[in-house]
Amino acid sequence: MSSLAELIGNVSTGGILGIVGGIGTGLLNYFKQKQEHAFKIEEMKLGASLEQVKTAGNIALAREQGAAIAFAGSQAADAAITGTSTWVANLRGFTRPGLTWLFVFALFAIIAVSIFMPDWLAEAPPLLSFGVEMVVDTTGMMIAWWFGSRQIERQSRTWGNKDASASVQ
């Protein structure tokens, strides 16, 4: 009888140990797969971040190359103009800033007239009202273009450089 009990004890002990070992192996495999999945997710996040940085660097590079090509083209076009008189060259150089100043002074004149004669625009003919509106809008666009576009470009360069860890200034 004792050998039967011993046999049953050995079988049941082996079965219990087998079950415990199977559960242990399953748990270890579960945690191993969980760790591998976490690693793969982190790897994909880093890969996406790397692609963002590469893209930002490529954009910054393309912007700088485009600016260099445009500047070289502008210089070549200016150099191609030969034989002009001094006053024509001076007029060409004064056109953009001159138009800006003209519109700024016109805007100040409109403001001054509006302060001293508040109802003048309400009584003005429609064409004059339209002209005043165009001067105000055009002046705003000129100022925004001259100063705003430079600030936006400077800011976009800063953001692109931060993303790309670049130092293109």
pLDDT in tens, 15-43: 676 777 777 787 888 888 888 888 888 88
Q: Does some domain include residue 57? A: yes
How many CA atoms, within 13 angstroms, populate the side-chain half-sphere of residue 40?
6
Tell me which of 80, 115, 130 is where a domain ends: 80
Same domain as 157, residue 93: yes
Task: Establish if 75 belongs to a structural domain.
Answer: yes
Q: Are residues 70 and 107 in the same domain?
A: no
Query: Alpha-carbon distance 168 to 57, whole Å?
Result: 10
Residue 169 lies in a domain: no
Its domain, for residue 67, covers 1-80
- Considering the domain architecture, whether residues 71 and 97 belong to the same structural domain is answered as no
Residue that is last in its domain, among 19, 53, 80: 80
SS3 91: helix
Domain final residue pick, 21, 52, 80:
80
- Tell me whether residue 158 is in a domain: yes
Q: Contact 42/35 with Cβ under 8 angstroms?
A: no
d(CA 92, CA 86): 10
- What is residue 137's predicted lDDT score, i.e. its pLDDT? 92
Judgement on whether residues 74 and 97 belong to the same structural domain of the protein: no
Residues 59 and 95 in one domain: no
Cα gap 137→144, rounded to integer Å? 11
Answer whether residue 169 shows pLDDT above 50: no
Same domain (yes/no): 27, 76:
yes
Q: Mind listing the pLDDT tens digit for each residue in 35-66?
A: 888 888 888 888 888 888 888 888 878 888 88
pTM of the model: 0.45
pLDDT > 90: what percent of the chain?
A: 8
* Number of residues written out for the chain: 169
* Number of domains making up the chain: 2
Same domain for 74 and 4, yes or no, is: yes
Residue 96 identity: R
Q: What's the start-to-end Cα distance of the chain, in Å?
A: 93
What is the token pair recorded at 162?
């931060």
Same domain, 159 and 91: yes
The residue type of 20 is V
Q: Do 63 and 94 sit in the same domain of this protein?
A: no
The predicted model gives 84-103 an average pLDDT of 84
Angstrom distance (rounded) from CA 100 to CA 106? 10
Specify whether 55 is located in the same domain as 110. no
Note whether residue 102 is domain-resident.
yes
Say yes or no: 41 and 106 in one domain.
Answer: no
CB 102 within 8 A of CB 135: no
Please tell me whether residues 58 and 128 are part of one structural domain. no
Q: Give me the residue label for tokens 């049941």.
A: 12
